[in-house]
Amino acid sequence: MQQEKLIAWRKYHGLTQQDMAKLIGVDVRTYINKETGISQFKANEMFAIAERLGRKIDEIFLPTNFMKHEVEVGKTTA
């Protein structure tokens, strides 16, 4: 799943994928793979990104409807 919120916040702050790759210490291709959902961000990378963007991790990395989805799933299995 593509990280739409991450992309939006990155662009809002005028940062490139190269800037973000440098921030978390990976090759730009590796960063692109993470941003497009091919591979996953590590926890320390998410913390570094959230700090740089001035946001909480859940504001960047959790889907907008995450809590609603979890509640609905819980209802169907209970």
Question: Residue 43 to residues 19, 69, 72, 76: CA-CA distances in angstroms?
Answer: 18, 22, 27, 30
Global pTM value: 0.78
pLDDT per position as a tens digit, 9-36: 999 999 999 999 999 999 999 999 999 9
Question: Does residue 57 have a pLDDT over 70?
Answer: yes
Task: Tell me the CA end-to-end span of the chain in Å, nearest whole number.
Answer: 27
* CATH value of 4-77 in 1.20.1530.20, 3.40.190.80, 2.60.15.10, 1.10.260.40: 1.10.260.40
Q: What is the pLDDT of residue 71?
A: 47
Domain boundaries, the chain: 4-77
